[in-house]
Amino acid sequence: MRYGGEGRTRLLLIILIVTALFLITLDLRGVAVLDGARQGTQTVLSPFQKAGNFILTPVKNFVSDVTHLGRTRNQIEKLRADNAKLKADLLNRKNADAQLKQLKSVLDLAGTAGYKVVNTRVISQGSSQSFSQTVTIDSGSNAGIKKNMTVLSQSGIAGVVKDVYPTTALVMLATDPSFKIGVRIAGTQQIGILSGRGSRSGSLQLLDNLTTVKVGDVLLARGSVANRPFVPGVPVGYVTAVDNSAGEIAQSGTVRYYTNFGGLGVLAVVVAASSTNPGDALVPPKPVPTPIPTVTVYVTPSPSPTK
């Protein structure tokens, strides 16, 4: 309140606010100049993001290890037993191995369904300042990626291509609050809509009041017209809770995504779907419980000595 608020400052403020409103109006009307400006910025930024990703990967691995210290205690204990050289080698190879594993799983998934994919690496996480969940990948329109293409992780759906630049693309993750996908319960034709909630859980709303869903049901992408934005058959997640409220027209529930969005390293963009619907072929196998060995001891009483 101490500043006098001179006429010049107020005029400047009004001009700046009007300019901002003008920009918003232009963008909402779809003026191409603003898209071009964003694309240009991204083209300039992408080499720096790639360099940053390359340089900071060991730091990220270290932070990740510290974060998961409790969960990986046994592994750390085992590593401690190794000698210093082996540990150094392991640290250097860890990132490459993890990405290779993710890549193999993604290719397995895409190969089973007959999708033609472009494999990419995640080079930047989106800022949470905008309350959105996005990542930047290191391939763009030069690699054949277009807007509204399905993006796969090693376990299933990861998101959809939101914006494309020549050498990078912005992927809206399935956890983004504005993400919506038509899903089908595996083994049936029951359909619903799954929405992101900002976390690894999504909200499922079934469309038919005769449809029933139960905990453990697997959800697959239902597919879109011309396979964009979603190709059919991609595993999405499984139902963890069902809401059976009496007032609901159709059942709703909570779904846990197969994809671990905290550890995305390699993604695949589906540039062409197979000519046939893969159906339920991509449903992940249920984990087989490890049998616990039991030992039965038969005790036969020895005849008591008689005198």
User: Using CB under 8 A, which of 102, 120, 134, 139 touches another protein?
Assistant: 134
CB of 294 to another protein, least distance (A): 43
Query: Does 56 contact another protein by CB under 8 A?
Result: yes
Distance from C-alpha of 110 to C-alpha of 153, rounded to nearest angstrom: 10
Query: Does 21 contact another protein by CB under 8 A?
Result: yes
Segment lying near another protein (by CB under 8 A), choices 130-138, 146-154, 183-191, 289-297: 130-138
Beta strand residue intervals within 104-215, DSSP E: 116-125, 134-137, 150-152, 157-164, 169-173, 180-185, 191-196, 201-206
CB of 191 to another protein, least distance (A): 22
User: Using CB under 8 A, which of 52, 58, 111, 284 touches another protein?
Assistant: 52
Query: Does 63 contact another protein by CB under 8 A?
Result: yes
Residue 89 tokens, joined: 């080698």
Per-residue x/- track, 260-279, another protein (CB under 8 A): --x-----------------
Distance from C-alpha of 240 to C-alpha of 214, rounded to nearest angstrom: 8
**Which is nearest to 136 in space by CA: 172, 104, 107?**
172
Per-residue x/- track, 86-125, another protein (CB under 8 A): --------------------------------------xx
Footprint (CB under 8 A) of another protein, residues 191-250: 197-199
CB-CB contact of 25 with 19 (8 Å)? no
CB of 162 to another protein, least distance (A): 9
CB of 99 to another protein, least distance (A): 15
- CA dihedral (253, 259, 261, 263) positive or negative: positive
Please confirm whether the linkage preceding 229 is cis (ω < 30° from 0). Answer: yes
User: Using CB under 8 A, which of 106, 137, 157, 170 touches another protein?
Assistant: 170
CB of 134 to another protein, least distance (A): 6
Query: Does 62 contact another protein by CB under 8 A?
Result: no
User: Using CB under 8 A, which of 58, 177, 187, 284 touches another protein?
Assistant: 177
CB-CB contact of 211 with 187 (8 Å)? no
Query: Does 68 contact another protein by CB under 8 A?
Result: no
Torsion angle of C-alpha atoms 227, 229, 231, 234, degrees rounded to 10: -170
Query: Does 154 contact another protein by CB under 8 A?
Result: no
Q: Where are the alpha helices (DSSP H) in the chain?
A: 7-28, 32-67, 73-81, 84-113
Query: Does 26 contact another protein by CB under 8 A?
Result: yes
* CA distances, 255 to each of 197, 235, 262, 271, 305 (Å): 10, 12, 17, 27, 68
CB of 72 to another protein, least distance (A): 17
* CA distances, 32 to each of 19, 38, 98 (Å): 17, 10, 40
CB-CB contact of 229 with 82 (8 Å)? no
Chain contacts with another protein (rule: CB under 8 A): 1-3, 5-6, 8-9, 12-13, 16-17, 19-28, 34, 37-38, 41-42, 45, 48-49, 51-53, 56, 60, 63, 124-132, 134, 136, 163, 165, 168, 170, 176-178, 197-199, 262
